[in-house]
Structure 1
Amino acid sequence: MRRRRAVRSSEATTVPQPNSNGIGKSRKAERKMTRKLKKLGRVAYAKHKSVEEVIREKFASKKSKKKKKRQNEESDEEMQELKKKKQESDSEDDISYEEYLQQVKDKKKQVSMDGMNKEDDLAIHRYSRLLGLQKRKAKIPKVFKNDGLDALLEFCDAENRDELVAMEKEIEDEHFKEEEENSGGEENGGDPDDINLSEGSSGEDEELSDEDFEDEASSSEQDSDGENGNKEEVVEDIYGRKINKKTRELIDFNPQAARQKLAELESKGDSDETKLRVDRNLTGLINRLTESTLVKTKQAIEELWRTESKNVIKQSLYRILSKIIGSSFRVQNQLIYVYTALLSLLHSTVDQEITAYFVEYFICDLVKSLENEGLSEDDKSKDNKAIFLANLWNFKITGFPMVFDVVDRFAKNLNIDKLQMILTILSHCYKSLKKKCAQQMQDRITQVLSGYEKAPFSEIPRSKFIAEQLGALRKQQPVSIDFDEIERLNKMILAICKRGKGGLEKELGMSLDDLLMAEERGRWWIVGSAFRLPTDSYNEISQKSQNKSLTQFPPEMLQLAEKVGMKTELRKQIFCLIGNSEDEDEAFERLIRLSLKGQQERELVYVLMAMSLREKKFNPFYPDLMGRFCNYNRRFNLTVQFAVWDRWKEVGALSVKGQANFAALIHYLLVKEVQPISLLKVVDWGLLTKTQSVVLLKLFQLLGETPKNVLKKIFAPLFDEKKASKLTLLFEGMRVWLSIHLKTSPVLQILDVLVTGLQ
C-alpha cells in the first residue's frame, strides 16, 4: 500500500515531457501509443517484416478505406435516387406477379445472351489471330478471293454495305432512264417495224456476217421464250455440267469440261511461288531422308499438308520420288525401303489421299511405259520401279490383288523385259505373298512359265536364265534379298502408329483396271470423285453384263428355276449356280464370286431353303452349304435363323414331303451346331397347329435317334447360368409338350438327367 501511494504521488508530481515534435503529451496518450507500437511489433514479427513497413501499410490502408467509404457513400446516394425514380415511375401495386416473373426471365435471358456474346467475341478474336486476319486488314486474303468470298466480305462490312447499296441504286436509275429514252425515241420515230427505204445506208451495215446473224437469231429466240414464260436459262454447276437454272435438271454432261474447270481452278489457286517453295522444302526433306530422320520427315510433311495446298504437295512428292526411282542407275534397296516406309507412315498417320495419288500415277506410268516402248539392258530404272512396286505391298500400302493384276498384265504380251519385271516383283514380295496367298503365287508363276514356253524369245539364253530363277521361286525363297530389314521397318512403323494413338490404315483397295480407267469411270476411292457416264454405250454394257450371267446356263435349267418360283434374275442365277455345282466347295466358291452385298446376301439363304424343301428326299448338301456360309461370316447365322422362323410361320402351306424335309433340316442344323437350341424359341408350345405338331414330332423322333453325348451338347445352353434366364419358357414348354406327346422319348430323359444333375 505504501509503495502504491508512493508511485501515485510520484505520478502526480511529474510534469509531462515534450516529444520530439515539441508537443506535450499526457501519460495516458503515451501508454496508448506504446500499446499500439507493441501491437504493431507483434504484427511485424508475425509477418516477418520491419515495424516501419507495417506502419506504412497501416497508414496506406486507412487512406484506401476513406476512399472506399466516400465511393460507397456516393453510390448509395445514386442508388437511392434511382429507387426514388423507379418508385415514382412504377409502383409495386401496378406490377402483377406474372409480370414480375416475366421481368425476371427477361433479365436472366439478357444476362445469358450477354455472356454468349462475350464468348463469341472471344472466339472470333482468338481464331482471327490464329488465321492472321488482323495483320491483313487492308487486303482481303487470297484464299477468300479464289473462293469468290471477297464480295461477300465487303457486303458484311457496315460502311461498305451502304456504299454498295447506293451504287446499285444509281446503276438501276441509269438503266431505267436509258430504257425510258429508248421507248421515247421509238414513240417519236414511229413504229419500229416500219423500214425507211428512202435513207441510204452503207454496204457494211447491210451485209451482216454469219456470226451476227446467229447472235441476232439466238437473241430473238430468247426474247420470244421470255415473252411466253418458257425461257430456259442454261448455266454450269461446280462440276462443269450444263443444267437448267430453275429446275436444276441435267442438260449436258462432258467429263472433259469438269477436268478443264478443275485445271483452271488449280492454275488460279496455286501460284508459282508456292509451288517452288513446296518443291524446295520437299526436295530437301527427301534428300536428307534416312532411317533415323524418318519420323522428323513425316512430321515436316504433315505440317506442310496442313498449311500448303494439298494438290501441290501430292504432285511435288510424286515428281521427286519418281525422279529418284526412275533414274538410269541402280538405287540401293535400303533407300527404296526407306522411301516406301515414309509413304506407309504418311498413309497411316497423315492422309490416304497422298498414297492414293502416288500409287495411281506410279503404276499407270509403269504399265504404259513398259507396253509402249522397251528398255535397254543398261537402264536399271525398271528394276528400281519393280522393287518399289513390290514394297508397296510389303509395307501394306496396296493389297496383294494389285501385285497379281500387274503380273497378269505383263504376262499377256510377254517379252524379256516384262519377264524380268515379273521375276523382280515376285522375288521382293515373296515372303509376304507366301504367308498370305501362297497358292495364288504358285499359280501365277506356272501361268507365266507356260506363256514363256510358247513365246518366240524362249530360246535366248538370258530369257532361259530368268525363267529358271522364276521357277525356283516355287520351291525356295531368294537368298539375295534381306527380308529381315523389311520386317524391322514394318515393326517400327507399327510402333510409331501405336504411340500416336492410332493404327495402321487399311490397304488401298483399287485394282489395276480401276487405275487405268480412272479418267472414264472416276476414282471411287476418293470421296466425290466417282461418276457414271450417261451414254448409250454404258447402258448397253451394263445390260449385257446383267444378261451375260443367265445366258451361260442351259434353257432347261432356267425353265426349272421359273417353275420352282425363282422370279428375279438374281435368284435364277443362284439357283443355276447351285444346281450346276458338283460339290459344296465348288458351289461355295461360285456363290462367293458373285460378291453380293446387303440385302442380296439374304437371297442365298432363301434359295437354299427353297431348294432343300423341294427335294423328294432330304439332301444334306443344302444345310452343309448353309453351314459353310455361317462359318464364313457370322451375319449368315442370323439370316438362317430368320429364314427358319419365316418358314415355321408358313409351315401349313408346305406339302407332306416339305414338312418332313423341314424337320430334317432343323435337326441337321442343330446336330452340326450350325444353329443353337434357341432356334426353337419362336415355337408357341400352347398354341400349335396340326402341321406344326407333325413337324415337331418328326424333329424329336430324329433327335431321339442321335447319340446322347450330342444331345447333351445341343441342350446344354438351356442349363447355362448366363443363358438359362432367357430360355426358361422354351425349356418349360418343351418339357411339358414332350411329357404329353412323347413320354418315352430319349430327349425327355436327357432333360430330366440334366435337371437332376443341376439339383
Structure 2
Amino acid sequence: MEEDFDLDAESENSDISKEDSRHDSEEDEDYDSEEFRGFGDYDDDDDETIGAEVVPDEGASEHPNITKAAGAYVPPHLRAKQVVLEGNKETDEQTKLKRQAQGLLNRLSEQNIGSILTEIEGLYRNFSRNDTTTIVTRLVLDTVSSRSNLLDSFVILHAALVASLTKIVGIEFAASFIYDLVTSYKKHYSILQAAMESHSVDEERGKECTNLIVLLSELYNFQVISSILLYDVIRDLLDGDLAEFNVELLLKLLKNSGTQLRHDDPNALNDIVAIVQQKTSNPNSGALGSRAKFMLETLSHLKNNKSKAVQNQAVATEATTRMKKFLGGLGKSHTIRSHETLRVSLADLLSSDQKGKWWLVGAAWTGDPLVDHRDELAVEKAPAVSESAILKLAKKQGMNTDVRRKIFDYVNAHEQLSQLKLTEIQQREIIRVLLHCCGIEKTYNPFYALVAQELCKDSHSHKVTLQFCLWDFLRELGEAEVGGTEVVKSARDRESVVDFDVTTAKNRVQNVAKVYAWLIAKGAANLMIFRPVNFTALQPRTVMFFQIFLVYMILDTQLRHPIVDADNKLQIPKKHNDEALEEVVMKAASNGGLAKGLIYFVSKLPPSTDQCSKSIAETTEWGLEVIRDTLKAGMDLAATLA
C-alpha cells in the first residue's frame, strides 16, 4: 500500500498546483465531507493522497499560497506580505506598464494629447487601475519635479493631461495625484528650506518646488482643485519670513493663477495682501529685496484688477487657453465620469494618514481617539466657554441640529463655511440660517447679504435654496398659493411651513426685503423668483415687503456697497446709472405674467417717499419709471418676436 502511495505521488507531482488550488477553495467554503464529496469518484485512498501532498516540507515557505508561478492567484490579504518578501520588486506586468506609460509621456505634445489620452485610457483597461494610477502619477511627478527650470508650457501640457484623466477616469485619480503632488512639494520645500538655513550656495538649489508650484497652479486653472488649496499654500509660504525662495514661489503662483484667484475669492486675496503688508511694514523684517518689491507690486495690481501683473505671461496664458478648449471638447470623444472640483485643504491632505481621505467615498476614518482627546485637552478653556455661550444662543434660536449650530457661528462663517464637510442636502441649511439670523436682527446687518452673495457665486444650488426660502417666507406673510401646486400641497400637509418658530415682525420683513434687494441688484438672484406671486391680490404685509424691496433694489443698483438704512446720511450719485437697473429688470420682461404684475404694483401700489430725503425720493421715482418703461419695452419686443 505504501508503494502504491509513492507511485501515485510521483505521478501526480505535475498536477499538484491544481490540486492545491482546489483544496484551498474547499477549505475556504468549509463544506462537510459527508455533505459534499466532490465532482469525481474519489475513494478514501485518494483523499488521503491529496491530504498528504499538501503538507509542506520543513524547508518550505511559511506562506504556501504565495507562489512565483506565472498567473497564480494570490489572496488580497497575502499580497502585502508578498511585496515585502520579494523586496518591493516590480512584477513583469508593472514593468511592462511602466515602459508603455513612459513611452506615451515621452511623445506627449499639444498636437497628439488626444491620442495619448486614448492610449492611457487603454492602459486602464488592460492593467490594474491602481497600478496604472500609481505609475502614471509617479512618472508625471518625476518629469515635472526636475532640478532645472522647466518651461511653463511644458508643465501646462502635463497639467492638462492630469485634468483630462480626472474627467475620464474619475475624481479618485485627482485625489491620488494631488496627494502625491503636495507630498512631493512639501518634501522638496523642506530640503530647500534646510539648504537655505545652512547657507548653501545657490548652485545646489534645484527648481523642484518652482516646477511643482506651477503644476499645482495650472491644475487650479483647469478646475481640478479649488482655490482653497492654493490659498492654503500661499498662507503656508507667508507663515515664516519672506525669504527669497518663498517670494520666488509666491510670484510664480500669482503670475500663473492670480487673476483666477481674485475672481474666485477676492476676500481671501485681500487677506493675503493684508498679511504681506503687515510683514513688510514690520521694522524687524529688514530691507526688502527687488523680488519682494515686485511681489508687492504684483499683489497690488491683482487687488486693483490691473492687467500689468500678467503681461509677461502671454505664452503661458495662450497655452492654458488652448488646453482649456481641449478639455471643454473632451466629452465629444470620451465618457466624462467626473465634473467635480476637488475642494480639499492643505491640512486635510497633510493629515490624511491620521484622518483618512474624506473627499473619497470609503477612504475616511475617525482617527486615533486618544490623539484627538489629547488635542482637545490642549485647547484653552476660554474659547470653550465662548463656544458654550454660542451654542446656548443657537439652541435658544431653534438651531436644533449640529449642522445648524455650526453655521450659526456667523462671526467666523464667511471664512469657515467652505471648509465645513457638508453634504449637498446639509449645504441648504447655510442659506436658511443666514436668512434667519438676518431676520431677527433689530437693525439690518448687510453682512448676511454679502455672505449669501459669495455663496451664490460658488454654487447654483444656493440660488435655488434662496428661491425656496423666499417662497416659504411669502407663504408666512399670507401668500398661500406661492410656490406651485406641489409645493403648496406639501406645505399644507405639514404642521408649519418653515422650521424656525419665529413670529413675522415688521423688522423681519424689512431685513429680508433688503437682503433680496441686494442679491437681485448684484446678480446673485433675479426677479424671476417672484414669478408665482399674484401682484393683484397681495396681503398687507406682502405689500410692505415689495415696497421696501423696490426702494432698496433701485438704490443698490446705484451703489457699490449695501445700504444699512435709507436715511439722510446716504450719499447717492447725482447721475443715475440707467443701464444697471435696466439689466436687472429685463430678466423679468421675458415672463409676461410677472412683467404685468410688476407694472401693476409699481403703478397702483408704489412705495411712499414722503419721509425720505430729497435725493432718495428722486432716485426712487426715477427707478420706478425705469422699471415701468423697461418692462413695457420688453413685453412689446417679446410680442413682436412671437
TM superposition score category, shorter chain reference: 0.5 to 0.7
**Which residue matches 1:275?**
94
**Which residue matches 2:309?**
477
Q: Does 1:290 align with 2:167?
A: no
Q: Does 1:429 align with 2:257?
A: yes
**In structure 2, what residue type is equivalent to 1:447?**
I
Q: CA deviation at 1:640?
A: 4.7
Larger relative contact order (CA 8 Å, sep ≥ 6): 2
Whether the 8 Å contact between 2:449 and 2:515 is mirrored in structure 1 is no
1:519-555 Cα deviation digits (max 9, x unpaired): 1111223332211135244357679999997733695
Q: Give, in whole Å, the separation in 2 of the partners of 1:645 and 1:546.
A: 46
Whether the 8 Å contact between 1:383 and 1:421 is mirrored in structure 2 is yes
Instruction: Out of 324-333 and 430-439, give the one that drifted further.
Output: 430-439
**Which residue matches 1:408?**
235
Q: Give, in whole Å, the separation in 1 of the partners of 2:226 and 2:447.
A: 34
**In structure 1, what residue type is equivalent to 2:290?**
F
CA RMSD of aligned residues (A): 5.6
Q: CA deviation at 1:589?
A: 7.4
Identify if the C-alpha distance between structure 1 residues 674 and 465 changes in structure 2 by more than 3 Å, giving closer, same or farther. same
Q: Give, in whole Å, the separation in 2 of the partners of 1:723 and 1:271.
A: 68
**Which residue matches 2:39?**
162
Whether the 8 Å contact between 1:285 and 1:297 is mirrored in structure 2 is yes
Whether the 8 Å contact between 2:232 and 2:346 is mirrored in structure 1 is yes
Q: From 235, 247, 265, give the equivalent of 1:419.
A: 247
**Which residue matches 1:90?**
none
Whether the 8 Å contact between 1:669 and 1:675 is mirrored in structure 2 is no
Q: Give, in whole Å, the separation in 2 of the partners of 1:662 and 1:456.
A: 51
Secondary structure of residue in 1 paired with 2:309: coil
1:548-567 Cα deviation digits (max 9, x unpaired): 97733695x77766666666
Identify if the C-alpha distance between structure 1 residues 526 and 569 changes in structure 2 by more than 3 Å, giving closer, same or farther. closer
Q: From 137, 142, 163, give the equivalent of 1:344.
A: 163
**Which residue matches 1:365?**
184
**In structure 1, what residue type is equivalent to 2:256?**
H
Q: Give, in whole Å, the separation in 1 of the partners of 2:338 and 2:382.
A: 40
Q: Give, in whole Å, the separation in 2 of the partners of 1:290 and 1:659.
A: 63
**Which residue matches 2:226?**
399
**Which residue matches 2:606?**
none
Q: CA deviation at 1:371?
A: 2.5
Please list, as runs of the form range in 1=range in 2, the aligned pairs for 1:659-674 lying within 5 A after superposition. 661=506
Whether the 8 Å contact between 1:396 and 1:507 is mirrored in structure 2 is yes
Whether the 8 Å contact between 2:255 and 2:310 is mirrored in structure 1 is yes
Q: Give, in whole Å, the separation in 1 of the partners of 2:161 and 2:42.
A: 55
1:3-30 Cα deviation digits (max 9, x unpaired): xxxxxxxxxxxxxxxxxxxxxxxxxxxx
Q: Give, in whole Å, the separation in 2 of the partners of 1:697 and 1:608.
A: 21
Q: Give, in whole Å, the separation in 2 of the partners of 1:669 and 1:330.
A: 53
**Which residue matches 1:497?**
331
Please list, as runs of the form range in 1=range in 2, the aligned pairs for 1:344-743 lying within 5 A after superposition. 344-372=163-191, 373-374=194-195, 377-378=202-203, 379-414=206-241, 415-438=243-266, 440-441=268-269, 443-448=271-276, 450-451=278-279, 454=282, 458-459=286-287, 464-474=289-299, 475=301, 476-481=308-313, 482=315, 483-500=317-334, 502=336, 505-533=339-367, 535-538=369-372, 551-552=385-386, 577=410, 598=425, 601-602=428-429, 605=432, 612=439, 628=452, 632-642=462-472, 645=475, 658=503, 661=506, 676=530, 678=532
Q: Give, in whole Å, the separation in 2 of the partners of 1:671 and 1:318.
A: 47
**In structure 2, what residue type is equivalent to 1:326?**
S
Identify if the C-alpha distance between structure 1 residues 498 and 416 changes in structure 2 by more than 3 Å, giving closer, same or farther. same
**In structure 2, what residue type is equivalent to 1:535?**
P
How many percent identity over aligned positions? Answer: 16
Q: Give, in whole Å, the separation in 1 of the partners of 2:286 and 2:275.
A: 15
Q: Give, in whole Å, the separation in 2 of the partners of 1:448 and 1:573.
A: 30
1:447-489 Cα deviation digits (max 9, x unpaired): 2354356597744xxx602102212213222444321122122
Q: Give, in whole Å, the separation in 2 of the partners of 1:638 and 1:140.
A: 66
Q: Give, in whole Å, the separation in 2 of the partners of 1:627 and 1:380.
A: 40
Identify if the C-alpha distance between structure 1 residues 640 and 489 changes in structure 2 by more than 3 Å, giving closer, same or farther. closer
Whether the 8 Å contact between 1:405 and 1:512 is mirrored in structure 2 is yes
Q: Give, in whole Å, the separation in 1 of the partners of 2:512 and 2:147.
A: 69
Identify if the C-alpha distance between structure 1 residues 422 and 278 changes in structure 2 by more than 3 Å, giving closer, same or farther. same
Instruction: Out of 635-644 and 662-671, give the one that drifted further.
Output: 662-671
1:650-683 Cα deviation digits (max 9, x unpaired): 89xxxxx9566499579959996797485799xx
Whether the 8 Å contact between 1:522 and 1:531 is mirrored in structure 2 is yes
Q: CA deviation at 1:361?
A: 1.1
Q: Give, in whole Å, the separation in 2 of the partners of 1:705 and 1:288.
A: 64
**Which residue matches 1:106?**
none
**Which residue matches 1:226?**
none
Please list, as runs of the form range in 1=range in 2, the aligned pairs for 1:43-192 lying within 5 A after superposition. 161-163=38-40
Whether the 8 Å contact between 2:228 and 2:345 is mirrored in structure 1 is yes
Give the TM-score, by structure 2 length. 0.56
1:26-64 Cα deviation digits (max 9, x unpaired): xxxxxxxxxxxxxxxxxxxxxxxxxxxxxxxxxxxxxxx
**In structure 2, what residue type is equivalent to 1:404?**
Y
**In structure 2, what residue type is equivalent to 1:412?**
D
Identify if the C-alpha distance between structure 1 residues 453 and 139 changes in structure 2 by more than 3 Å, giving closer, same or farther. farther
**In structure 1, what residue type is equivalent to 2:347?**
D
Q: CA deviation at 1:360?
A: 1.0
Whether the 8 Å contact between 1:558 and 1:572 is mirrored in structure 2 is yes
Q: CA deviation at 1:310?
A: 2.4
Whether the 8 Å contact between 1:305 and 1:313 is mirrored in structure 2 is yes
Q: Does 1:325 align with 2:155?
A: no
Identify if the C-alpha distance between structure 1 residues 662 and 292 changes in structure 2 by more than 3 Å, giving closer, same or farther. closer
Q: Give, in whole Å, the separation in 1 of the partners of 2:114 and 2:332.
A: 14
Identify if the C-alpha distance between structure 1 residues 165 and 282 changes in structure 2 by more than 3 Å, giving closer, same or farther. same
Identify if the C-alpha distance between structure 1 residues 458 and 644 changes in structure 2 by more than 3 Å, giving closer, same or farther. same
Whether the 8 Å contact between 1:670 and 1:676 is mirrored in structure 2 is no
Q: Give, in whole Å, the separation in 1 of the partners of 2:216 and 2:100.
A: 25
**In structure 2, what residue type is equivalent to 1:317?**
V
**In structure 1, what residue type is equivalent to 2:152?**
N
Q: Which runs of 5+ in 1 are unaligned?
A: 1-137, 176-258, 652-656, 686-694, 728-759
Query: Is the radius of gyration larger for structure 1 or structure 2?
Result: 1
**In structure 2, what residue type is equivalent to 1:633?**
K
Q: Which runs of 5+ in 2 are unaligned?
A: 1-14, 53-75, 302-307, 457-461, 479-491, 497-501, 518-526, 554-584, 598-642
Q: Give, in whole Å, the separation in 2 of the partners of 1:435 and 1:458.
A: 33
**Which residue matches 2:568?**
none
Instruction: Out of 444-453 and 535-544, give the one that drifted further.
Output: 535-544
**In structure 1, what residue type is equivalent to 2:292?**
A
Identify if the C-alpha distance between structure 1 residues 153 and 434 changes in structure 2 by more than 3 Å, giving closer, same or farther. same
Identify if the C-alpha distance between structure 1 residues 512 and 647 changes in structure 2 by more than 3 Å, giving closer, same or farther. same
**Which residue matches 1:219?**
none
Q: Give, in whole Å, the separation in 2 of the partners of 1:444 and 1:666.
A: 32
Identify if the C-alpha distance between structure 1 residues 536 and 426 changes in structure 2 by more than 3 Å, giving closer, same or farther. same
Secondary structure of residue in 1 paired with 2:372: helix
Identify if the C-alpha distance between structure 1 residues 644 and 149 changes in structure 2 by more than 3 Å, giving closer, same or farther. farther
**In structure 2, what residue type is equivalent to 1:477?**
A
